[in-house]
Chain A
Amino acid sequence: MKILYLLLLVAAVATVRLLRRRARRASATRRARPSLDLAFLKGGVALVTWREVRQRVRGRMFRISTLVILAAIAAAIVIPTLHHAGSSSQRIGVVGPLSPALKRVVQNDVRANAGVAHLVNLSSASLAKRELASGKIDFAILNDRSIVVNSLRNSAHAAEIVQIARDLGVAQALSAAHLSTGQSALLARAHSLRVTSLKQQKASGANVGASVFGLILIFMMLQQYNTWTLIGVMEEKSSRVIEVLLSALRPLQLLTGKVLGISLVALAQATLIVTFSLVLAKSVGSNLLHGAASLEIVSILVWVLLGYAFYSWIYAAAGSMAERQEQIQALALPLSLPLVFGYVVSLIAAESGHATMLVSVLAYLPPTAPFAMPVLVGLSAVTWWGFLLSVLLSIVSTVAVAHLAARVYRRAILRTGARVHLREAFARY
């Protein structure tokens, strides 16, 4: 908590200093600075944004990548349900007598786990064990006294068997107690006591699935759209169209239009992917996204946008410093390091189901927040104001980064030949 207060304080001080510095510079310089007024946005920026959206959406790469992502998601959602559907029909061997009441208990418990029970009468325990070993039956009930399984496949399977065993035992005890109808009804309505854990609850498999899904989506989209920005800016420079564009536009207008255009495409693609995933998961009965609350989905969309908004300026500035493919590769590697670091640390946390201290800190650092914060949301390990604070920090940092990036872009985009270095980009002439 102290870390959060400290971060908040640092962000507030940095913002105030930045605003005061800008105000001093604005009064000191004679050069007119572009202001974010309506005319600025309405004219060139809107046209650049619209061109960017059209060119990107029309591009073959965009269509193919969208289809590939949707196909991968469809496979991730549908294939487990096919496997699940195959195993939901359970063959249960019964050796010896089993009363109709006990049969109903078994059938109800299997149905509660989305399965159908097929009871098969077997002549002996040894036959039942052979059938279990060959996989012809899932488990066997021997003389209504014991349950035999070949192996417990996973925790869900174990929980299901334990549930059946307990319910059969309770049913037999109730039958043996010769209770009245009212007493039996009272016992039937009994429910467990509430359990409170002093330590954080581990996320369920469904929640983990949703968090991992969100992380992969955010990482893929940030990589894709940042690369678009990097290469798009570099191509405008290398094709020299930049001179024609900047004879009619201010550099900040061109840069803002490009970032906005790609942001819109990113938002549309992310919305399409999330909607498709939810609809498909619901229609096939997948539990992969079952635990994904609406807040988590909103969080994924918000952080795709905030993440792109933060990184896009940096990638655009980097793109303006290069004009050849090999120069781009040298620039892209160091830029992707914080992205990969945030992604890997968050992925490990999401899969473990625990919000580690490292992830909790990364969730408030703008370069890694797009990955860490959705994980905290998925694990219900963040308060609403913590989420809001991280969003605010990200927005403030984005404004500061955009300010610096616009300066680098303006100085570097018109310099041709060798790669422009940061020192040159900040030089006076």
Chain B
Amino acid sequence: MAGELVLQGLRRRFGTLTALDDLSFSVSAGQVVGFLGPNGAGKTTTMRAIFGLTDLEAGTITWNGRAVDSTLRRRFGYMPEERGLYPSMGVGEQIEYLGRLHDMSAFDAREQTRYWLERLDLAQRALSKVESLSHGNQQRVQLCAALVHRPDLLILDEPLAGLDPNAIDTIGEVLVEQAKSGRCVLFSSHQLDQVESLCESVTIIDHGRLVATGSVDELATSGTRRLVVRVDEDRDARWAQHLPGVEVSEVSGGEVRLVVDPSLDSDVVLRAAMAAGHVSEFSFHRRSLSEVFREALR
């Protein structure tokens, strides 16, 4: 099932607005990849382009080296940002129908529909009309529709938006499980703490351009170094204010967070702190995904 989605040089404008500006990145199988960016960064346009739902002015999209076409797309699963289901059609019937549109046999589609409805606690609602379900349950049905045909690549646009913690946990489990089974999972979200807990890799875009990509660990530890220092005699961190190559990021409760120039030896910082008083804490700080995101967009 191993595969790789490669997006190369995507370009798209809407009037004077540039939605995608030479955007390139790739997504490998076996990973849950978070697709991040501020509102209007071009995430949804990118996802729609993968499914041929928006025309590109330039660029190529390939899956395992082959240009993505309508045949390949039937091996992909998609959950659009604005949920889309037939409101007056039954839940089970609808998932089965969407499965069959993805080349499943009638029997297989029925069996897989049953499996996913049970897996996502919707078995009791199989005969209900979609419009009669709560927002959370409609979201689960939408996920079933994206998963029913065992897609090789799963693209989910804001799958966690508006869900309660239990639903987020359930969907998160499913995404991780799908990645572990060798599938490629790309999803966008603004809930960075959830992304950090679910994803091994992230891709961050802004104004249609790639600004950062890599594993969460790499991004958290790369770039500028961060130090957390506590000097008991100088709780306002005056000692660090004018230290060359050091920027005070935050002072709180006697603890100071410093952004240190990569070329500066951390011993210099330690000595300056010790000269100011007793150092009760001195540690390297790993960036949170929120910090990675903000710094990438700075």
Contacts and interface: CB of A to CB of B under 8 A. Distances in A.
Contact of B84 (A47, A240, A248, A250): A240
B89 interface: yes
Contact of B80 (A55, A240, A249): A240
A180 interface: no
Nearest to B78: A247
B89 A240 contact: no
Given A248-B102, A250-B70, A51 B53 contact: no
Contacts of B83: 240
A244 B87 CA distance: 13
Given A244-B98, A248-B98, A414-B54, A239 B85 contact: yes
Nearest to A429: B55
A414 B97 CA distance: 21
Q: Name the interface size band of chain A.
A: 20 to 34
Contact of B74 (A55, A248, A416): A248
B53 A243 contact: yes
B84 A241 contact: yes
Contact of B57 (A51, A247, A429): A429
- Chain B, interface size category, equals 20 to 34
Interface in B70-93: 70, 73-74, 76, 78, 80, 82-87, 89
A44 B71 CA distance: 11
Given A32-B69, A51-B97, A242 B84 contact: yes
Chain B interface mostly helix, strand, loop or mixed? loop
Interface string A402-414: 0000000000001
Interface string B222-242: 000000000000000000000
Nearest to A251: B52
A240 B100 contact: no
B53 A246 contact: yes
A245 interface: yes
B80 A244 contact: yes
21 contacts: A43-B103, A44-B101, A47-B100, A55-B89, A236-B86, A239-B85, A239-B86, A243-B48, A243-B82, A244-B85, A245-B101, A246-B51, A247-B51, A247-B73, A247-B78, A250-B70, A414-B48, A414-B53, A414-B54, A416-B82, A429-B55
Interface of A: 32, 43-44, 47, 51, 55, 236, 239-250, 414, 416, 429
Given A51-B97, A243-B78, A243-B80, 16 more contacts: A43-B103, A55-B89, A239-B86, A239-B87, A240-B80, A240-B82, A243-B51, A243-B53, A243-B84, A244-B78, A245-B84, A248-B73, A248-B102, A249-B70, A249-B101, A429-B13
